[in-house]
Amino acid sequence: MQIQSNNAANFQAKTLSARPGASAEQPASDSVQLGSFSDANAPQKQNSINKFLVMGGVAAAATVAAVALPSMAHAADGAAATAVASTGAATASSIIGTLVPLAGLGLMGFMAYRMIKQGGGGGIGGGDSDKGAGKVVKSDKTFADVAGIPEAKEELQFTVDFMKNPGKYAKLGAKVPRGVLLSGPPGCGKTLLAKATAGEAGVNFIQATGSDFVEKYVGVGAKRVRDLFDEAKKNMPCIIFIDEIDAVGAQRTGGGEGGNRETEQTLNALLTQMDGFNSADGIIVMAATNRPEMLDSALVRSGRFDSKVTVNPPNREGRRAILDVHGKNKPIDDVKSLDLVADRTTGMVGADLENIMNKAATQAAREGADKITLKHLSEAIDTVAMGPQAKSRKLDEFEKKVTGYHEAGHAIISKALPSNGTLMKVSILPRGQAAGVCWTNPVDNKSMYSRQELEDHICMLLGGAAAEELKIGKNFTGPSNDIERATQSAMGMVMEYGMTPGYAGNNNGIADLGKVKYVDVRSRGKGLAPSAETQREIDKAVKGIIDQQWARAKTLLQKNDAQFTNLAETLIKKEEIDRPELEQILTNIVDK
């Protein structure tokens, strides 16, 4: 398996990111969960509902009795004219016929009462309409706790200054944005930024999430939105922060029943509330999302979310600054170790880096060490990226041989084709689902890739399978993920980036499909859905690219056979080789 940091994720068809692991929003000690507003009328509301149910039950019973009693009286009159035995049977039959409907009606009323009670007593429609109001707190975070995203901090500094000195801007007629939308990948620190903005400005902070306003019953979410803004008006100046706003602010589709109608009413209530106050009142709405393209245009227009701040993953300097923040109060053996951590974590976000520092400290504590060493940090990086080492999963000698040559094949081609990034480590210690790993770091902050660079990447991905075929003489299931990613990259070249014209005329069977973006007919992407004939040409082009790079990978391994064999045998013996030793082994590599 070949692992590459996330920086390379943008240049293929949404698939070149190879770094496993999940990112979470920056955790904070003062995380606020939603509670409920104190509602002085809540007991009266519940009593009213209970009285309504009791009165309804009594009225229903009276109605049934009014219908049933004449029948019972008639049965009694008829009984007087018949024999005693017949009278008893008729009366019993009449009473049973009357009680069965009454019992059914009573059961239905009881079930309705239970449903409303479980819904929270928020009204006849069900659902707890008072749920979802955030607690008002004072944030203890400031911009000193935020690192690695200087552009976002600079943009929010204006918001802080306005809330501290509103008169300064009012004299010139300037207006602060009513809303600030934070967007970016998970774990980049959007929630932390919102808390730091409130803490820096010294104003109240109310946190909610988009899912808190989503309910089954129509009108419940809208009421929660109104309650949230009412509470904010009581605690001005303040910042309202709505995390994952796409849960309630997604684009409206028009029409729909049930849940769709409720979501649209909730969104309408949010739009109305954002229009119902002035920024001069001291209320600013901040929101965060990972998917800004999904938000309704009416929500993100100027006048509501005027300011849009993109929070990107940090660069090398930003990662180093984040490590300093999370390294406070941690005894690190050599501070220069953090420089190496910053080098190895290209594409990682603040939450990942915090996790690395915490796992390194935990590992050091388990071993009884007094300080955190580079060994602890390196192990923590591997654990966060790929999972803990599977010590119970032992490879037999043949599996070690196959895996050793596989990873050595990746390493040789990575070294021969530098556009794949810096080779950092090769290992055959199982982690997660992978039996081994070849770790490369791409060029930091690189966002554009040429056709040649994409071809180099595909060649490197196929290097493991090519090594198995050359040295073992067979193919195994291990390269399945590599082959999948190589195929997706080739599909991106053909279908998204219009990179087929350069292949035409080379007698390789690849047609010139032009500068056209093709999309799968089942997807919702924007582009041209290919005809059956064009799809056949697309399939041929993708296979042609893969075939070319497969042959190229085998050629590179054959031309560097001495270094290839030496690396594989050393890896099988040591199981893990770091960058300094790799540099000694991989010298004089032929790149063509």
Known catalytic residues are 407
Amino acid in the structure at residue 404: G
| Residue whose C-alpha is closest to residue 212's, from 272, 127, 297, 124 | 127
Helices 561-574/451-471 angle, 10° precision? 70
User: End-to-end alpha-carbon separation of the chain, Å?
Assistant: 23
DSSP states of 163-232 = HH-HHHHHTTT----SEEEEE-STTSSHHHHHHHHHHHHT-EEEEEEGGGG--SSTTHHHHHHHHHHHHH
CA gap 297, 249 in Å, rounded: 9
DSSP states of 73-116 = HHHHHHHHTS-HHHHHHHHHHHHHHHHHHHHHHHHHHHHHHHHH
In the sheet with 576-578, reading across from the earlier edge strand, the strands are 2-4, 437-441, 422-427, 576-578
- Write the CA distances from 432 to 213, 240, 384, 468, 573, integer angstroms: 37, 40, 11, 21, 21
Structure tokens at 543: 């296979």
Residue 88 CB partners (closer than 8 Å, separation 6+): none
CA gap 426, 572 in Å, rounded: 11
| Residue whose C-alpha is closest to residue 407's, from 419, 399, 418 | 399
CA gap 519, 534 in Å, rounded: 12
Q: Where are the alpha helices (DSSP H) in 276-315?
A: 297-300
Neighbours of 336 (CB within 10 A): 9
Residue 28: alpha-carbon gap to chain centroid: 18
Neighbours of 78 (CB within 10 A): 14
Is 314 in a helix, a strand, or coil?
Answer: coil
Q: Exposed, middle or buried: residue 387 (CB in 10 Å: 0-12, 13-18, 19+)?
A: middle
Residues in the chain, how many? 592
Residue 103 CB partners (closer than 8 Å, separation 6+): none
Beta-ladder partners of 289: 183
Residue 75: alpha-carbon gap to chain centroid: 71
Is 437 in a helix, a strand, or coil?
Answer: strand
Contact of 341 with 356, CB cutoff 8 Å: yes
Contact of 262 with 217, CB cutoff 8 Å: yes
